[in-house]
Structure 1
Amino acid sequence: MTTIDTLIHLGAGPCRELDAHLALQPERLILVEADPSLAEALSARVQGRESVDVRHLAVASKPAEVIFHRYNLPDAGSLHPATGLKALFPGLKRLQTLTMEAVGIGDLIDSFRLEPDAVHRLIVDLPGEEFPCLRALYDGGQLHRFQWLSMYCGHEPLYEHGLAAGAILDWLSEQGFDLVECDETQDPDRPCWILKRNPLKLECLTLQSQIQQFLADKSALTKDKAALSAARDEQTKLAAERQQQIEALNAEKAALVNERAGLSAARDEQAKLAAERQQQIEALNAEKAVLAKEKAALSAARDEQATLVAERQQQIEALNAEKAALAKDKAELGAACDEQAKLVAERQQQIEALNAEKAALAKDKAALSAARDEQATLAQARQVEIDSLKSRLQEQQKRVTELESQLTERDQRQALLDEELHKAEGQIELIKDLLLRSELG
């Protein structure tokens, strides 16, 4: 017989199974009971036994303030009202309700510091709280610390919020526990279900979980691959658009260069015309100076040449008319010069604006070139990542094949074990018949 390191009985009550527990010779026997009177009586029964530890505690799926219901049947006490049990036992009466602080089952199991490689057994006798506690142990990774699991539970729900035994047993089967026996000797309405942890089933469940995880990873990789392909196509499209923009900017740049050359030629032509106008103005000024000199000479000779006054007066008037015409031409040339200067200034502003646009275009071209180089680098990195994902996918597919092969071998071994178990059960039945016949004889 395998030595049991720790046997834990949650909801021990009066513990009619105490002799059977002690017969298993566990290294530690821990009895937990919420009813204070039953816990006190139980402590008195095991006094002097160092391996037995009695705890007066209310146990729930998580720490909370709870109400313990005491009934006139000692085993009927629970954290939940006995609604279904009262239908079976009309004489059942609630004697008292006690407010307590319940300890969470996960914290309680951790406090026992169970050895990881030893054999442990858990007995759950928590009416109405069976499944929440078992589920809490599973969620906390503590359920599979126990090789043996016993549960007192009715075929039908006997307590408020409780579940039928069948539903809980189905769930435990999914977690890798096989039903070994249903003991109805103490209470056929609420028998003791004895289960044993099946390592092969647990291994199969682990393999199934790994396969499901692999399939999920494979699906995620497929989605990532599709997303990367879409991103690559988008980058290719973006690169093509950028190339079109660069070509359009180059065409605009060439047009601006041509326009600049035309403006430079126009500027030179205007400069030449302005120089010619300046020469004409200087010549007119020289002629004006000569005319002024001649007018002064004529004025000095007017007294001496009185006889020639009329003729000279006519000459002076003619010169004045010519002078007015020259002054008018000078004013027109001045206005034309100002207009040319204004036009030259406007052309200079246009040239400066074109130079600024040219610099901006050169800067945009450099930025586009850098973006194109960055996109090429990113595309190369994406290709490397895709190749890596393909390699991982091939390794995962290879692993799935190996796992499927192992699972097939496990199924074959399980079938052989089941066949051997059936044979052993048949032999046990045969031995029972022989013993019975021997006793009758």
Structure 2
Amino acid sequence: MNKYFSHLVWLGAGTASEPTSLLEIAERVTLVDARESACLLLRKQHSQEKVDVQQRLLAVDSARLEFTEYNLIECSAVSPVTGLKTIYPGLKTTNKERITSTPVTDFIASLMLSGNNNLLIMDILDSNLALLESLGQGGQLHLFSDIYVQAGVEPLYESAPTNNELMLFLQQNGYLLQQTSGDDPDLPWLNFSLNPLWQTLEQSQQTNEILTRELNSLSELLLSKEAELSNLLQERDDALAQLLVFQSKKSQAVDNAEPLIDNTAQQEAKAGRNAELIDKLHAELAIAKKHATERLKKIDQLEKSNRKLDEANTVLINHQKALKQEMLKAEAQINIIKDLFLTP
């Protein structure tokens, strides 16, 4: 991998040895493990200023969890093992301890990552999918342009995901599988990169939503102005009707002419003010209609752009499916080779 990252975050770091040669490609490195012994060893091996080692048990929520360590330390987890016993028949418990977990979203927030030129390595076999989903719900998943994650071909712990489930989740969130690596075919490492079109599509959808909200607000404003205009027109008609009545009475009642004239003048003044306000509302209504027309044109342009992005994304997804088929073929070949070597 030639890409250089701003920040590498390794959750469940263990010895931070596999995948190999990743610590050198980041400006800053944060290594996290729940075991004190692992953290002490990591601090001893990686004393560079850019490397920060933190002892934390990460989970979706904060809770008191029972953390189990095994004779294969990289298998330590909070969930009971299932399929892992098939891969490692000699797996035994060496220690159990209750630890208060840290929500993964709180921990990522504490790192104050900027941009998305960051690399996430997720090596928490029993809960990696749940943690990724939590980051997605918290709006933090796309802080990482690249993700390495390890999972079993079959479930290894109670309620643990398979690598196919991980691939499906990350694909649905805009990530494309770049390669599969690792020495153990039962526990492959999957390397994903964020589809460059994904952010463009998200930004277009957000802009479209903003314009739609503005258009709805303008529509409400138009309705309000039209209702106000209708009321003013009614008041004008009422005032004109009263004016006609007063003018009629004026000609018929000479003795009461003075108070009638005063009243008529007031009505005429009110009618004049209403006419000015009506003209102003007409002008505002014309401006609002113009803004609404411009928003509709922008929405139409965005919809055309989104259709093009969807077509490009379909091509990328088809490429992803082809990669997945190649991976399945490779796994089948590995199983054939294993059978050949293991058959007496």
TM more than 0.5 = yes
**Following the alignment from structure 2 to structure 1, what is the Cα–Cα distance between the partners of residues 164 and 213?**
37
Displacement of 1:151 after TM fit? 1.6
**Following the alignment from structure 2 to structure 1, what is the Cα–Cα distance between the partners of residues 19 and 125?**
21
CA contact (8 A) 2:119 2:147 kept: yes
Which of the residues 376, 381, 395 maps onto 2:279? 376
Q: In structure 1, what is the equivalent of residue 100 of structure 2?
A: 100
Please identify which structure carries the higher strand content. 2
Q: In structure 1, what is the equivalent of residue 340 of structure 2?
A: none
**Following the alignment from structure 1 to structure 2, what is the Cα–Cα distance between the partners of residues 392 and 369?**
35
- Give the 3 Å change call, closer, same or farther, for CA 160–406 of structure 1 in structure 2: closer
CA contact (8 A) 2:57 2:101 kept: yes
CA contact (8 A) 1:106 1:142 kept: no
Q: Which structure has the greater CA radius of gyration?
A: 1
**Following the alignment from structure 1 to structure 2, what is the Cα–Cα distance between the partners of residues 23 and 221?**
46
**Structure 2 letter corresponding to 1:194:** L
**Structure 2 letter corresponding to 1:371:** N
**Structure 2 letter corresponding to 1:195:** N
1:39 paired to 2:49: no
**Following the alignment from structure 1 to structure 2, what is the Cα–Cα distance between the partners of residues 9 and 69?**
19
Which of the residues 179, 183, 196 maps onto 2:192? 196
Q: In structure 2, what is the equivalent of residue 209 of structure 1?
A: 202
Aligned residue-pair number: 319
Which of the residues 242, 245, 253 maps onto 1:249? 242
Aligned pairs (5 A) from 1:194-343 = 194-198=190-194, 201-203=195-197, 205-213=198-206, 216=209, 219-220=212-213, 223=216, 227=220, 230-231=223-224, 234-235=227-228, 237-258=230-251, 260-261=253-254, 264=255
- Give the 3 Å change call, closer, same or farther, for CA 401–37 of structure 1 in structure 2: closer
Aligned pairs (5 A) from 1:22-33 = 22=21, 25-26=24-25, 30-33=30-33
Aligned pairs (5 A) from 1:161-176 = 162-176=160-174
**Following the alignment from structure 1 to structure 2, what is the Cα–Cα distance between the partners of residues 151 and 133?**
11
Displacement of 1:71 after TM fit? 3.8
Structure 2 portions without partners, runs of 5+: 331-344
**Structure 2 letter corresponding to 1:11:** G
1:394 paired to 2:297: yes
Q: In structure 1, what is the equivalent of residue 334 of structure 2?
A: none
Identity across the alignment (%)? 16
Structure 1 portions without partners, runs of 5+: 265-350, 430-441
- Give the 3 Å change call, closer, same or farther, for CA 165–243 of structure 1 in structure 2: same
Using CA pairs below 8 Å that are at least 6 residues apart, which structure has the higher relative contact order? 2
Displacement of 1:2 after TM fit? 1.4
Instruction: Spell out, residue by residue over 1:373-417, the C-alpha distance to the aligned partner (whole angstroms, 9 max, x if none).
Output: 212201211102212332343355345546656776x569969x9
**Following the alignment from structure 2 to structure 1, what is the Cα–Cα distance between the partners of residues 46 and 212?**
61
Instruction: Spell out, residue by residue over 1:76-101, the C-alpha distance to the aligned partner (whole angstroms, 9 max, x if none).
Output: 433x4326568867976584232335
Displacement of 1:34 after TM fit? 0.6
TM-score w.r.t. the length of structure 1 is 0.56
